[in-house]
Structure formats: C-alpha cells, structure tokens
Amino acid sequence: MNETKKRLDVIGKPRRRVDGRAKVTGQLRFADDLALPRMLHAKLLRSPHPHAIVESVDAEKARRHPGVKLVLTGQDFPVPFGIMPVSVDEYPLARERVRYVGDPVAAVIASDEQSAVEALALIEVRYKALRPVCGPQDGLEHPEPRIHDYGEQGNIHRNQAYEFGDVDEALRNADFVAEDLFFYEGNTHLPMEQQASLAFLDQDGKLQISSSTQNPHYLHRQLSRVLQVPESRIRVVATPNGGGFGGKCDPGGHEFVVSKAALVLGRPVKIGLTREEVFYVHRGRHPVLMKMKTGVTKEGKLTGMHLQTLLDGGGYGSHGPASTFYTGVLTPVTYHYPRFKFEACRVFTNKPACGPKRGHGTPQPRFGQEVQLDKIAERLGMDPLELRLKNLTKAGDLTASWLRVGSTGLEDCLRKVAEISDWKGKRGKLPQGRGVGLACSTYMSGAGVAIYWNKMPHSGVQVLLDRSGTVVVYCGATEIGQGSDDVLAAIVAETLGVDTGSVRVVTGDTGITPVDLGSYSSRVTIMAGNAAVQAAERLRASLAAAVCETLGTLPDRVVFSQGKVFAADNTGAGMSFVEAVTMAEAQLGTLSAVGSYSPPKPPGRYKGAGVGPSPAYSFSACVVEAEVDERTGWIHVPKIWMAHDIGRALNPVLARGQVIGGVYMGLSEALMEEQSFRRLPEKLSGALVHRAPSMLDYKSLTALDMPEVEVALIEDPDPNCPYGAKEVGQGPLLPVMPALANAIFDAVGVRIDEIPITPDKVLRALEAKAEGKAPRVGPDSYPSVPYPEPTFVLPPWEGGDGNESRKGGEKRAAAAVV
C-alpha cells in the first residue's frame, strides 16, 4: 500500500450503490427479462411421488402435441452432477428413481409456455412407489429401502465425529454440566426472483447460458461434465440475481435441460421456474436436532463442549457434506472451549434436498449454544453479558479445533450492543411480559478451501485502463443483490484515486471474466476484493513510474486522489488522472493488470480440517426486546439492536442494509418460517408433500412486519482483508434467533428450545409453568445415532501439532480391551 496516502476518499463514505440506478428504474435485466428471436420455452414434469422407481416414460403423445419441439427424459442425461465431488448423485432429469415430490422427470420444449404445459399432461410415467423416508429418525430406523446406493450405511449420507482433547474428562472436571436438546426446523431462502435461464448457441456455435446463479464457475464445470462438452465451448453468464441467499449455489436440473435443448435444437430455449418449483429446488436450511453438553466452573468458565447433531438432508447430497461439518465447526470460534467434541450425522429423506442457506449449517448450533449460555448464566446467577465477556476468544487465538480466530471485535460488539439497548437497565427489570435477550455469533469471510480440490487462486481480477480515463474491472464474482459490484468498484476507485463513476464493472461471465469461485460463504468482499487491490496497485505502480519524472518525485511519492495525480510533497502541482493514463499509455503501451487471491493455509492438518478455516471471521452481538401476552402467547418484537464487527464498512449504506436484511431473515426464521412436510395417513396414502409451497402460505415476515433495527458497525480493519473489510452478508442473521428465545425467557420465564418460536409453543410452556412442570417446549429425546469413533486431535495447548493424534488410537485400543 502506498505509504504516502492515508486518507480514504471512497471507502467508508456512504454512497449510492453502482447498480442502484438500473435497479430502481427497472433497467436491470434479470434472467427472466431476457428474450431472443426464435426463442422456445421449456417446462418440467415433476414427480408426484416422494419415493418411487421410474419404470417407464412414454412421451409419444407429448411429442405430437402442437407446438412441441422436443421432449427430454432421464435417458437424455446419462451423466450425473453434484456441486461437491463427494456427492455427485443427481441427474438433470431422474433416470431410475425419484426422491421427492417435485423431482424433475421430463421436460417439454415448445414454441410457447402454454403448449409446453399442455404437453406435460400428455407424458405417461409409470412409477413403482417405494416407502418414503419422512425424517432422519425414520431414516435411521429404516435403512431399507435405501434412497441412494452410496453413503455411510443405510440411509445415512454422512456421519462424522471429531474430538479435540478428552472431552469426557473436561466435563467430569467441571462444577456442573449443562445438557440440553434443541431443534431447529428447516426453512428456505425465499428470494424474490424465481430462477430463470436462457440457453442458446452463439455465432460460433458455442453454448451460452444466462442464468440466475450465484456460482457461474461451478455451473460452468458441471455443464461441461453433464453435457460432455469442453468448458471452452461453454459460456455461463450469471445475470444479476434477485436474491440468492444460497438457493442458487447448486446447479439446477433446469439449467442442464435448457442447455441440452439449445444444443439439440439450435434455438434459444428459456425456462422460468414457478414459485412452487423454487420450493422444490430448495437447498435450504437443514432441519437439525441437537444435543449439547457443556462443562462450566462455578466462576463461569467453560471447560468443554460435546455437541451432537442430526440433520434431515432431503433427497440429494447437494452441499450436505459441508453442511454437516458446519453444524459443528464454527461453534468454538466465539468462546474459548479448552476441549471440544462434535458428532454429526446427515440422513437422506424423501424431501427436497437441503443445502446452504445464509449462515450455512451454523445458525442451528449457534441457537443451541447461545440459549444454553443463557441458561448457564441463570443457573450461576450471573448476567449473561458477563458470562459471555468472561469466555471470549481473543485476537490471534487458535481454537481447540485449530481454527485461527484472527481479528475479533466481539468484545466491542457486546459492550456496544449492551450500551445502545440499555441492557443493564432492562434485563430482568422490564415489567412482566416484557424482556430482553442477548446472543452472539461469528461467520467466515470466505471459506478457506474451494469446493473442488485445486491449488489455483480463489479469485482473479483484471483491471483495464485506457486514455479516456475509464477503468474497467473484470471479475467472475456474481452480483446477487449483496453489492459485490459496488465492492469491486469502490476498491479499485479508492486504489486508483478516482470516483466510482469512472469505473465500469464486468462480472459473473465465464466467457470474459477471470475465475472467481462464486457468491457463497461471504467470500467475495475479501477474496475478489483482495484480488482487485492487487490488480489496481499494480496498475497504480505502472502509472506512478510513468509520471514520476514529470512530477519531479519518486514513484512511491506519487499520490492518486480524487481524480488527480500529484507528488506528495508538492500537492499544488500535478495532473489529472486522465493525463497520467495518457502519459503511461504512451510510454508503456496498453494498460492492464491482473490480481489474484488465495487464502492462507489453515493451521489444522487433520483430515476434515479444511471446513471452517477463514482468513477472517466477522462477529456480531444482538439484543432483541420482546413482549409476550401471557394469555395468548402472542409475541411482539418492538426493537432489535445489532452490533457487527465488520472490520471496515466499504460502503456504510450497503453494510447497514446487509445487517438489517440479515436481522429480517433471522427474525422471520425465529418467528415463523418452516419448510415442513405433510405425511398423509399411511393406510390411505403414500403422500409426503410440502405443506405450503407458495408465497402466501409459507409464512415469512414482510417489510410491514419488521420492527425498528438499530445498527452499530464496529470497525477495526482486519489486516487480511481489502481495506480491512470483513463479511457482513451472513453474520448478522445468526444471533437473532437465540436472542429472541432469551428475550422470551426474560419476559415470561419460559424456554422455547426450538425454532420457530410460535405463540402456541409459548402458551404451552406458560401452561406447563402454571402447572408446576418444567416451563419449556422443545425436543425431549435424542435418538441413538451410530456415530463413528472420533478423529482425535490434541488442542494446541495440549501439545498438539494440528494432526490427528495417536491418542485417539490409544483410546480406541483401550475401549477394545474393555
């Protein structure tokens, strides 16, 4: 970084986002806005059975229907796909088996959508129904019929166990052990934009697909795999997404279908999913049952945690192997646990596949952890704020599981949120029926490891300059509404000393832009941002070298600021940025530079240590105020306070928007969202259907239902991040759910140990309390799960080196002798 330039001109200033004008004027073209001459329309036929063998598909009548150009079935797609190399288990159209109601089995491509819909009804599919697996416990109890012929055993997809130090001993040595069961219902992303894709052959006969995807790079690879077409003959353009939240990370069956159809027919083929289909594509929050044992001393120090999770995976692998890890791995990042053990099991069920949703796998254990801490504080007679402050991890710490904490502003977040919410004045002091609750969380600024194994950069940026003074930034990063285009523009503008108006951003296009892995795991700001800093700094160095003689100074004394280029010690003289570019282009030729970014190597070296590490973690602390009507259980949330450690806010307007959006989504999950299913009476029906696949009946808060949110951004720039900026897209969602549960306890003294927290549960708990029973609603048993023997790793402070320890083997041997 240029030593002579300390003041920031663009970064940290509230600005209109660079894509804002197009959005508010309706000029932005989403995938469904696209149309091409001679375009055809595709519709998918979906399974009405939750679990069945596909015996035959007869599409003859459909093929003869007026307007129909092509019918595709599973036979047209012999190669499976899967976002993770370890779970390539899905076909664009089901071949031999359907695994949930809504699994696509055939596609009709016709001259118009109406004809395609009519033709769908003419396709005759013969199914042989199989017993559906309705939930993870059902899947454990019924290993047969298997939903997939791979996985751990029976219907268990993933099963894993890790132990960092002897946790039994840590719990034995504690003054008491808190033991709790929690349940977190599944929910879905509910982006405003329903997925749409348009595929066609370009002038060179190469396939191009414009699609609402968060990850054009991964889609590119999967298209090549499934269609057996070289990647160089495929171009994926990620259209601006109308919200993603993780729901557009996996490739979707529809994307392969329109691509294949365009290849076969040589005409543009488009598809737009209905809202119901979006519920079936899903890949949302896993329902998770949790058992959590935490050792505590009388003084309120945590001695260790044993966490067990059971995930309802749905019908396919999706990101499931990662999700399974995430129900454990980030738990010890906020507080210091000298020892930590987690066991996690994901079971296949006959429902739409679960996957990554904002917070990916971590909101569920975070909910349990933060509610349990509240119970521990209650038992110790301690302010929950003090208990948390006592156990915080510190900057630079390693966790027992070998994650490097890096910078942390969690203590500042806690103190700030307590101050602005008047925590001390309110907790336990509000009138009966009103209360406040506190919770914390953390999230990764980008996953440390790519989804497929490779040693290449995670993000690349090219910056091009010309004599007009225009700066063009090329990057594979994808704008999903989170503001990634604005982040790139701001970083490059700041580095080159121009305003964002001179910067044009070209993103998410595998035909033009350098690879960026995608908009997931809150990775774009840090990874594409660092690549952009590197590219822009290289260009700035070229410019400085070209103009320094004219300015009569040394290259590292040249300052770039507000469209001017001048010498640090002679600010009066100088030239415009355009003049500098002209001078440099004359001397050096066409001006361009690239930058790239790879995250640092994680400290953990055991197998599985790749999930959880991040170059930087964001931290959040939240206070929710709640009012509970004790006669009806009705819950009202008047206000929420959120302090978020963002490192630095590149654009405070956008950062606040992301915080409030996260709070919105968290509160909606906390109060009502449920991706839940109905099993009709077994004697009469084999049906297992989504309860409410519509915007009206899948209950989610609207803007009108939102309380006031007060946001405090805690800024302490992180050295690993571009201009110090950490993530903000996911973290602030995570503490809302436990903070609400804790607020309800403060208000009326009952514990709701499951999400969502609805009035009927509150009323049931209040009735139990009135009858002198345990004032609690939540799961009351945990099934027997055949977790494997854990991978044993010694924590850093017990002499470990980050590898699996022999002690695990000794433990196993000892157990065998006994």
Residues at the site binding other proteins, with contacts judged by CB under 8 A: 46, 48-49, 101, 113-114, 117, 272, 274, 276, 627, 629, 631-634, 636, 672, 680-681, 684-685, 687, 689-694, 696-697, 699, 701-705, 758-760, 763
C-alpha dist (Å) from residue 715 to 415, 459, 751: 14, 25, 34
Residues 576 and 564 sit within 8 Å (Cβ to Cβ): yes
Instruction: Quote the least distance from Cβ 210 to other proteins, whole Å.
Output: 18
Q: Least CB distance from residue 761 to other proteins, whole Å?
A: 8
Distances (CA, A) of 74 to 29, 64, 221, 811: 32, 19, 20, 49
Q: Least distance in Å: CB of 782 to other proteins? A: 24
Provide the b/e sequence for 261-270 (b: ≥16 CB within 10 Å): bbbebebbbb
By C-beta, is 49 or 751 nearer to other proteins?
Answer: 49
CA distances from 313 to 305, 348, 354, 701 (A): 24, 5, 5, 25
Rounded CA gap, 518 and 224, in Å?
A: 17
Strand runs labelled E in 662-734: 677-679, 688-690, 708-714
Closest to other proteins by CB, 697 or 780: 697
Residue with smaller CB distance to other proteins, 1 or 696: 696
Residue 206 Cβ vs other proteins, minimum distance, rounded to whole Å: 30
CB of 75 to other proteins, least distance (A): 22
Provide the 8-state DSSP code for 513: S
Q: Name beta bridge partners: 182.
A: 290
Residue 73 · residue 57 · CB < 8 Å: yes
Residue closer to other proteins (CB basis): 4 or 274 = 274
Distance of alpha carbon 732 from alpha carbon 286, whole angstroms: 19
Smaller CB separation from other proteins, 5 or 769: 769
Percentage helix, strand, coil, to 5, in the chain?
Answer: 30, 25, 45
Q: List CB contacts of 808: < 8 A, sequence separation 6 or more.
A: 163, 789, 790, 791, 792, 793
- Cβ 239 to other proteins, closest distance in Å? 18
Q: 211 or 459, CB closer to other proteins? A: 211
Shortest reach from residue 687's CB to other proteins, in Å: 5
Name the β-bridge partners of 506: 474
State the nearest-atom distance from the C-beta of 92 to other proteins, in Å: 19
Toward other proteins, which CB reaches closer, 113 or 716?
113
Q: Which is closer to other proteins, CB of 46 or CB of 346?
A: 46
615/693 with CB nearer other proteins: 693
The CA-based angle 272-274-279, given to 5 degrees, is: 120
List CB contacts of 419: < 8 A, sequence separation 6 or more: none
Cβ proximity to other proteins, 40 vs 526, nearer residue: 40
690 residue type, one letter: H
Listed in sequence order, the residues at least 6 apart from 121 whose beta carbon sits closer than 8 Å to its beta carbon are: none
Q: Between 570 and 702, whose beta carbon lies closer to other proteins?
A: 702
HEC readout, 151-174: CCECCEEEEEEEEECCHHHHHHCC
Q: E-assigned strands of 445-590?
A: 459-465, 471-475, 503-507, 558-561, 564-567, 570-576
Residue in 109, 61, 115 with CA at minimum distance from that of residue 271: 109
Q: Which residues pair with 288 in a beta bridge?
A: 184, 311
Pick 121 or 573: Cβ nearer other proteins = 121
CA distance 337 to 325: 18
Rank residues 693 and 722 by Cβ distance to other proteins and give the closer one. 693
How far apart are CB 648 and other proteins at their closest, in Å?
35
Tell me how far, at minimum, the Cβ of 632 lies from other proteins, in Å: 5
Q: Which tokens belong to 135? A: 């939930």
Q: Who contacts 449 (Cβ-Cβ below 8 Å, separation ≥6)?
A: 599, 602, 610, 611, 613
Q: Which is nearer to other proteins, 703 or 815 (CB)?
A: 703
Q: Smallest gap, in angstroms, from Cβ of residue 765 to other proteins?
A: 12
- Helix (H) / strand (E) element for 262: namely helix 253-265
Residue in 445, 392, 437 with CA at minimum distance from that of residue 641:
437
Q: Which is nearer to other proteins, 468 or 632 (CB)?
A: 632
Residue 758 Cβ, how far from other proteins at the closest point, in Å?
7
Q: What is the nearest approach in angstroms of other proteins to the Cβ of residue 60?
A: 21
- Least separation in angstroms between residue 38's CB and other proteins is 21
Distance (Å) of CA 263 to CA 206, 268, 449, 578: 9, 9, 34, 45
Partners of residue 304 on adjacent β-strands: 295
**In the complex, minimum distance from the CB of residue 393 to other proteins, in angstroms, rounded to a whole number:** 39
